[in-house]
Chain A
Amino acid sequence: MSSVAKEERQKRRTLVLRPSSRTINVSVSGIHGVNQSTRYSNGVVGSPSRKSFSLGGGSKLLEKSVVQTPRQAARVFDEEGNDVTPQVLYQADPAAVQAKASRFFMDEISAGGSASDQTTTTGSFTMPFSRSLLGSSRISSQSTIESLNEEIEDTFSKRDGMSINIPDVQGKRDAMKELVTEDMLKEVIEVYISETDSISLLDIPSTFVSVDAHDAEAIIERNNQYAEVCRNRMGNDKYVDRSMQTLNGEAKNKQVQSDSIVMVDTAATVTAWDMYDTYISPEQDETVCVPQAERADYPEVAVDTSRGAEKNMSVGSSTSTGSVASSLKEQEALGNGLNAESELQLIMLSEKFQHLLLVTERSILGNVFQPKLAAYRELPILEDSDIPMKPGTVEQREDTESPRPPAVECLWAFSCELSRGRSVSSMAWNKKYPDLLAVGYGELDSSNQKPGLVCCWSHKNPTWPERVIYCDSAVTSLDFSFNNPSQLAVGMQDGSLVIYNVQSRNQLCVVSSSECTNKHLAPVWQIRWTQQDLSLTGEEKLEALYTVAADGKICKWFICNNGLDCIELMKLKKIHNTKKKAGGNKTEKKTESVLSALSPGLCFDFHPRDSSIYLVGTWEGLIHKCSSSNSQQFLETYRKHFCPVNCIIWCPLIPDVFLSCSSDWTIQLWKQDHLNPVLGFSSTQKAVCDIKWSPKCATVFGAVNEGQLEIWDLNSSILDPVIVQPAAPGVKMTSLLFATQTDCVLVGDSDGQVTVYQLKNLSVGKNSQVDILEDIIRSAASR
């Protein structure tokens, strides 16, 4: 719509039409408008009316002779100067508004004609009126201004024809009609029309395809076809114009309700070991007890997820873990679910449980014995801050300042109910694990013959042995092997020799000498594994087992054909030149009978450097030096003792020095090449049962007689023992062993206890004091 400017023609009355989208802005054109404003100056007819007006036509309105002033500021006056400013529709008094409306009816004829009606309180009715009027006005806009009047008349007449429901309006209309004069109708009214924005209803942008594209040719062809169609459209029979109307079907409402979606929260914790288990488990065999075996019957996936789920459940900290996991198990298990009883049985039978119990017991005992074990290991004793220390024990630890006399402190005792009442006959350390102790129990006197017992003790558990081996007869001696550290050779009172394997829990008796024809017939007093220097293989030293028994034979044993066989190394013949002894004559006469010509051997010891030389102590008190290569003669004979020699040991630190003890209450120190002892020691009038050198210090040795433990230190005194520890009343000490790595001695007694004593305050220097001993010996020998 183009705007028409008629300013040159009619300057007096100009109406400026502006597009009004929503707002109502039609300004009064000059003062003239006001002067002539009887008809036009009603411009402001209330904004609501204008609203409807604008709604009707959108922006494509032709407003004729509509003068509008902005709502807020405009005030309209007529010729008489009365204030005829139209009021807001809804607020206005009907009477006042009606008066105005009647006066300015003329203006309402043009598209805004209905607006005057709207000035009345009944603004809302005129909506349809305005539309129709506007529609007519639209059409009229195409015509020239000259025909405006006609149109106005048209609309006017139309108006009359319309039935208006409101009698008030009719009345007003009639009143307004009077105002329109002939002159007014002939007047040329200028209407300015301006263009509004274009509104695009449909916009389909073209798609551009490059000429080089694959389907470009097809598109070009299609385009050409379409252009042809367009050309041929006019006058073509194929195309007929036809109008259609879509029928909107009736909408029908239907309601559907879906099942409620159940939301379940699940959580999973992924751990590194869970994934590892999942990968590993199909490869491993499931050979475990019943509940797991039942689970393994299911496909692996199910097993894994269930196990994983179980683990997930168990990782969580909820207390319902048990119930959830148990419900899983119930789903899985083929059986009816295990009750606690059968589970307990299964657990009790498993090996693993045994091991767990073992470890637990050791831990408990570790707690109980911790100070003692620490002292054994020469570790500082930790004070447990939670346990209130007894005042007595505190004093004992403050002993570093004043020099105290050497003493032994009792740490603990290996003892259990099995061993109670039995006498300890021999003890030996394991060659590989210096903390493993084998103790043989057997009555030395043949009055009460109990079956023998061997216990392997570990310091980890002082209350129960690690291994218990029941033997047929009393054990008299035992020794661990060098090459096979788990083999324990046991000599018994009935002369039999058995080798046990202590490694397994089921005590494997490796071999027994019971079928050997050459076996001893008398108690095996000492048994010894010895490593021989001469080894052709070079790698492992050959090892041989030697025994000395009361039948006067020294035998070397070896394993053949699942049995032991021995060769006789030496027979302990009685020596004729014992005329000094009381029993000398008797022995001469008895040289012919084989049995009595042999004197029982009680102990022997191999030279630490040269394993072919060994010393044997006999019942007569003679000590023979023999060689394993010479089975006929003794190399040397040492005479001093007149009672059975109970023990002989070479000094481990000084070659060619050995000690012997005997039931004649004496201990003798010998040098190999001296036929007479270098030194002799005696302290009590009791038979000395056992004697041992200290492994660390050359001048120290220990001796056990029936009533006490004696520790001698030749550096301080050669007349008296440095430490004397009496035995418990009623108990006789029977055997002695030095601990190899710590300053402790073990003493076995006749009650089956092996007590561990720690040597304290022995004034031993760091060196082994070999030279001191040599000095002593030299000085003694020179006397």
Chain B
Amino acid sequence: MLIEETLKRIQSQKGVQGIIIVNSEGIPIKTTLDNSSTVQYAGLIHQLVMKARSTVRDIDPQNDLTFLRVRSKKNEIMIAPDKDYFLIVIQNPSD
């Protein structure tokens, strides 16, 4: 299936540490990381996404958040949100 292939490709890209798919309640439903990290990421990022989305929409309710990237010293967290779920990819580009 196309999505499966894409996921596999993403997983095999250079520096990608993990992929997590979280549903709208903040519960991870698919992950390639270990359990504790997944739960931690899911919970924390869920709040961040809600806040970011709220910020964008408060400024203009017709707008909506499409992508969120958090660049840190060690890696980059890319979050693609949707109404019912969001996708988190953690990448370390210097690997």
Residues of A within 8 A of B (CB): 271-273, 275-277, 288-289, 291-292, 314-315, 317, 319, 321-322, 325-326, 329, 340, 343-344, 347-349, 352-354, 356-361, 363-365, 367-368, 370, 384, 386-388, 463-464
Is the pair A361, B10 in contact by a Cβ cutoff of 8 Å? yes
Q: A237 CB to closest chain B CB, in angstroms? A: 86
Contact residues of B: prevailing secondary structure: mixed
A108 to B82 alpha-carbon distance, docked (Å)? 103
Residue of A nearest to B80 (CB): A356
- CB-CB < 8 A to A464: which residues of B? 6, 9
A288 to B24 alpha-carbon distance, docked (Å)? 14
From A271, A317, A354, B57 is in contact (CB under 8 Å) with: A271
A356 to B79 alpha-carbon distance, docked (Å)? 9
Is the pair B13, A364 in contact by a Cβ cutoff of 8 Å? yes
- CB-CB < 8 A to A354: which residues of B? 2-3, 6
A347 to B30 alpha-carbon distance, docked (Å)? 11
Is the pair A368, B13 in contact by a Cβ cutoff of 8 Å? yes
- CB-CB < 8 A to A368: which residues of B? 13-15, 93
Instruction: For the complex of A and B, list the 5 residue pairs with the smallest distance between their C-beta atoms, beginning with the closest.
Output: A273-B57, A276-B61, A387-B94, A356-B80, A367-B93
From A273, A291, A322, A326, B61 is in contact (CB under 8 Å) with: A273
Q: Which of B2-42 contact A (CB under 8 A)?
A: 2-4, 6-7, 9-10, 13-16, 21, 23-27, 29-30
A353 to B6 alpha-carbon distance, docked (Å)? 11
- CB-CB < 8 A to B78: which residues of A? 360, 363-364
Is the pair A364, B3 in contact by a Cβ cutoff of 8 Å? no
From B3, B9, B16, A348 is in contact (CB under 8 Å) with: B3
Is the pair B94, A360 in contact by a Cβ cutoff of 8 Å? no
Is the pair A353, B23 in contact by a Cβ cutoff of 8 Å? no
From B13, B62, B84, A276 is in contact (CB under 8 Å) with: B62
Q: A82 CB to closest chain B CB, in angstroms? A: 96
- CB-CB < 8 A to B30: which residues of A? 344
Known contacts A347-B84, A387-B93; decide if A271 and B29 are in contact (CB<8 Å): no
- CB-CB < 8 A to A291: which residues of B? 84
- CB-CB < 8 A to B9: which residues of A? 361, 463-464
Residues of B within 8 A of A (CB): 1-4, 6-7, 9-10, 13-16, 21, 23-27, 29-30, 43, 46-47, 50-51, 54, 57-58, 61-62, 66-67, 69, 73-74, 76, 78, 80, 82-85, 87, 89, 91, 93-94
- CB-CB < 8 A to A357: which residues of B? 3, 6-7, 10, 80, 87
- CB-CB < 8 A to B4: which residues of A? 348
A365 to B67 alpha-carbon distance, docked (Å)? 15
Q: A39 CB to closest chain B CB, in angstroms? A: 97
- CB-CB < 8 A to A358: which residues of B? 6
Q: A506 CB to closest chain B CB, in angstroms? A: 11
- CB-CB < 8 A to A343: which residues of B? 23, 29, 85
A273 to B78 alpha-carbon distance, docked (Å)? 24
- CB-CB < 8 A to A356: which residues of B? 80, 82, 87
Q: Which of A275, A315, A352, A386 has the most CB of B within 10 A?
A: A386
Residue of A nearest to B64 (CB): A273
Known contacts A321-B26, A386-B94; decide if A363 and B62 are in contact (CB<8 Å): no
Is the pair A325, B94 in contact by a Cβ cutoff of 8 Å? no
Known contacts A273-B58, A353-B3, A463-B9; decide if A315 and B27 are in contact (CB<8 Å): no
From A322, A349, A386, A388, B27 is in contact (CB under 8 Å) with: A322
Known contacts A273-B61, A329-B25, A357-B6; decide if A317 and B47 are in contact (CB<8 Å): yes
- CB-CB < 8 A to A289: which residues of B? 84
- CB-CB < 8 A to A365: which residues of B? 13
6 A-B pairs in the complex with CB atoms less than 8 angstroms apart? A315-B54, A325-B26, A357-B10, A364-B13, A364-B16, A370-B93
Q: A484 CB to closest chain B CB, in angstroms? A: 25
A93 to B43 alpha-carbon distance, docked (Å)? 87
Q: A481 CB to closest chain B CB, in angstroms? A: 26
Is the pair B26, A288 in contact by a Cβ cutoff of 8 Å? no
Is the pair B57, A319 in contact by a Cβ cutoff of 8 Å? no
A340 to B31 alpha-carbon distance, docked (Å)? 12
From A329, A349, A353, B87 is in contact (CB under 8 Å) with: A353
Q: B57 CB to closest chain A CB, in angstroms? A: 3
Residue of B nearest to A351 (CB): B3
A314 to B58 alpha-carbon distance, docked (Å)? 15
